[in-house]
Structure 1
Amino acid sequence: MRQVTVIGAGKIGATMASFLQGSGNYRVTLMDRDAAALDRLDLSPEIERAVVDIGQGLAADRLGGQFAVLSAAPFQLTRTVARAAAEAGVHYLDLTEDVASTRDVRALADGAPTAFIPQCGLAPGFVSIAAHDIAQRFDSLDTIRLRVGALPLFPANALGYNLTWSTDGLINEYIEPCEAIVGGRRATVPAMDGYETLGVHGVTYEAFNTSGGLGSLCETYDGKVRELNYRTMRYPGHAAIMKVLLSDLRLAERRHILHDIFTHALPTTPQDVVVISVIVTGHRNGRSEQETLARSIPAQEFMGAHRTAIQLTTAGAICATLDLLGEGKIPNHGFVRQEDISLEAFLANRFGRVYRAN
C-alpha cells in the first residue's frame, strides 16, 4: 500500500483523499492549516489528518516515506509544496492552472529522480491529453481549440454562474494573460478576449480566453499548428457582466474585493455540470477534416457518495494520473507533460472512467 499526502482539505482535496483511501491501494494523509475544517470533514477515519500551515513553509521531513504528494492547495502555494517534494525525493502532482508557478515546478523537475506532474486536473489536464490524442491522428494540423465550462445545471442569476471550485483560481484565470498560438506563432493574448459562441449537445454557450488551460500544449505544438487556444465556456451574458466588473469598475486591480463579492453573492451548488469540447482540424489523406471530443458530465454518485461534476472531473483526473504513475504507464522522473499520458490508458483507469462517453 502506497503512502501519499494530499495538501489542501477543500472540496477537491477532500474528494481526492476520499477517492484514494477508498480505492484500497493508498494510505492517505490529508494536510491543511485549518484544524476545525479537517475535523468537520465526513471522511474515513483511516485518513490521517495533519494540521500544517503551508503558507509558513513545508519541511521536507513531513513528506518522508511518501510515494507522492498531491497538491490541491491555492496556486500561491505551488512553489512551496513542489520544493518540499523535491527535497524529500517524492513524486509531485498538482492541479494548478497558474502559468508562472508551473514554470517553477518545471525548473525543480530538471534532473530530478522523481516525477513532477503539474496541471493534472480538468483543464489543463484531461483536455490536454484528449487534444494530443486526437492531433496524432492527423497528417498535418491546422487548429486545436479547447473549450471547457464548469457550470450550474440550473442557472438562476444574471451571471448564469455558481461557485463550483476555487474562487482565487477563478479570478486568476479571468485576469492573467493567456498563452496561445496565433498565425503559427506562440503569443500572449488578453483574458476575456476572443469572444465566441458554440454549441455542445444542443446547448448554446459563449466562450472567451482564460489563463492556464493549455498547460504545455503551446510548447508541444509550436510550429506545428496555425491556431491553438483555450477558452472557458459560460452561459450567454456572463462575459459582458464580467467585463463591467473587471474593466469598467477596475476590480481586476482589487482582487480581494472581487473575491468578497463572489464569495458573498454567488452560492455554491451540488447540481453542476462540466462541459468539454476539444476540436481539432487538419488534413488526413489529402482531405481537410475536423474531429471533436465532446462531453457533458453531470454531478452523480461515485464511490458511494454524491459528487459534484467539478469534484468528479478534477479529483478523478489527478487520482487517475497517480494510478498510472504507480503502474509505470507514464514517466517516473523529471518533468511530465499531460501529453505524455495515453488517453486510452487514462479512460481505462478506475478514476479516469468518469470522462468516458455515456
Structure 2
Amino acid sequence: MRFAAALAVLAALALLVWANRKDIPEAARALRTADGHRLSLAVLLLLVWWLNWTLLHAAARRVVGVGGYAELGRLVPVTLSSIALNLAVKSGNVAGLASFAYDARQRGLPRGRVTAAYLAAAQLAEVAFVVTLGAGILVVCVDGRLTRAELLALVIFAAGLVVRVAAIVAAVRSRDVVRRLWTLPARLADRVLRRPAREHDTQGADELYDAVAAMRDSPRATVPALCFAVAVDLLGAALLWASMAAVGAGDRPLVALVAYAVSTLFGIVGVLPGGVGFAEVGAAAVLVSYDTPVGIAAAAVVVFRILVMWIPLVVGGLIGYRVRLRPA
C-alpha cells in the first residue's frame, strides 16, 4: 500500500515538473546566481539548528535525571545520527530513538530514562510546532490564502497529534500500562516463535514511568526544553528565509514562516520519509501564492530542502556509521 502511494506521489511530482517545465531554466539560473553571502548565512543557521536540537535533548535529559548540558559534546553526534534516522524512516520521529538507545547501551545508562528523555524531546518538538503552525495559519487566514489542501493536512495532523497525546497521557497514568507496552515486542516475538510464556524484564519500563512522573510533577523544569523546541522551528523558518533571500525570492520573514509551517505540515502527513515531495510542493505553493515567480520559488525550495533534508541525512548517516564502528 505504501509502495503504491509512493509511486503515486512520484508520478504526481513528475507531472508537476512537466507542467512547469518552462520555469526550469529560471530555477536553474536562480541557483547558479545565488548570493554566496546569504548561502553562507544559511549554512551557519543550519549549524545553529543542529546545536539547538542537541540542546533540546540535553535539556530533556536533565529533566529526567540522565545527564544534561555537561554531556553536550557527547550528544552532538548522537543527535545528528538521530535526525538522519528520522529523515530516512517514516516513523513519527520514533526511529531516532535507536541512536540514543545505542549510546545508552554503550555507556551503561538507564534505558527507561533515556527513552523518556527522547520521547519528551520529540513530544515537545511537536507541541512547539503547533505554536509555529498556528502563527503560520493565522497569517494565511488573515491574507485569505488558506487552501483546501492545507486545511485537509491540518485536520490530519491535528487528529494524529490528539491520538498520540491521548495515548501518552493514558500510559503515564498507569505503571501497569507502561509495563505492558514495554514488554509488548518481546511477548509478540514469543508468540510468533511459539516460545512458552515467560516473565520479561520491566526495569526499563519502571524507569520510564518514574522519569515521566518526575516531569509531570515538576512542569517548570521542562520550560528550557520547550524553549529549545520552539527555537527549532524558528531556526527552520530562518533557514527558509535565508534560502529565499539567496536566490532572489525577497527578504520576507513572514512569508518564510508561513511556507515553513505549511512545508513541515505537508511533510508530516506525507507518506514518504522526510516528507519528500509533499514538503517541496507545500513550500513552493505558498511562495507562489505570495507572488514569487515559479522558477524562483522552486530554487528557494531546492536550497532549503538541501539544507534541512539532504545534508542532515548524509552527515547524520555517516556519523551514525562511524559511531557504530567505534568500540565501546
TM-score between the two structures when normalised by the length of structure 2: 0.28
Identify the structure with the greater helix proportion.
2
Q: Which has the higher contact order (CA 8 A, sep 6+)?
A: 2
TM-score scaled by structure 1?
A: 0.27
Decide which structure has greater strand share. Answer: 1
Considering only CA atoms, is the larger Rg found in Structure 1 or Structure 2?
2
